[in-house]
């Protein structure tokens, strides 16, 4: 399940929902707003393109790592220090595939999903530069 939302996330509920009778591991990644001298972090998404791209990533990860469930929630809007930005919850039969699958999803999101961050500072605002080649 893929969600882009302005609202905060109920992490415990998402973890519980990831469990199956055959689940041996639930791995969670939670990205949060770090205090780099910023006042806020504004997150913008091209939702019509981000949702299908994250669905592709979800399906890739399920097949590649034999995952039982994948849940990705990316927040948009103006966030404060310590706020949750991105939650990825994956479940699998064993920890190795769950860890690897969760990391794969995170790196793929950073690489290709059209979402941007703008740091709001006292002396102005700057867009965060990406770390991945785009083409």
Partner 1 sequence: MKVRLKAFARFREVMGSEQDLEVPEGTSLKGVLVLAAEGSDKAREALFSGDDLKEYVVLMRNRKRVVRADADREILSDGDEVAVFPPVAGG
Residues that bind partner 1 (CB under 8 A): 31, 43-46, 48-50, 52, 74, 85-86, 106, 109-118, 127-130, 132, 134-135
CB of 15 to partner 1, least distance (A): 19
Would you say 90 and 64 are in contact if contact means Cβ atoms under 8 Å apart?
A: no
> Which CB atom, from 96 or from 125, has the smaller least distance to partner 1?
125
> Which CB atom, from 93 or from 118, has the smaller least distance to partner 1?
118
> Which CB atom, from 60 or from 93, has the smaller least distance to partner 1?
60
CB of 24 to partner 1, least distance (A): 26
> Which CB atom, from 18 or from 109, has the smaller least distance to partner 1?
109
Query: What is 5-21 written as a DSSP string?
Result: ESS---HHHHHHHH--T
Tokens at residue 66, please?
A: 């034999």
CA 119 vs CA 88, 110, 116, 123: distances in Å: 23, 17, 10, 11
């Amino acid at each position: 399940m893929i969600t882009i939302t302005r609202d905060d996330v109920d992490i415990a509920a998402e973890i519980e929902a990831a469990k199956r009778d055959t689940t041996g591991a639930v791995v969670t990644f939670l990205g949060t707003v770090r205090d780099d001298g910023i006042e806020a972090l504004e997150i913008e998404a091209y939702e019509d393109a981000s949702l299908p791209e994250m669905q592709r990533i979800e399906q890739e990860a399920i097949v590649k790592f034999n995952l039982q469930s994948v849940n990705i929630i990316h927040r948009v809007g103006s966030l404060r220090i310590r706020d949750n930005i991105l939650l990825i919850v994956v479940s699998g039969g064993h920890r190795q595939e769950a860890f690897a699958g969760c990391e794969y999803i995170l790196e793929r999101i950073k690489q290709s999903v059209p979402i941007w961050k703008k740091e709001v500072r006292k002396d102005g605002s700057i867009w965060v530069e990406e770390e991945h080649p785009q083409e």
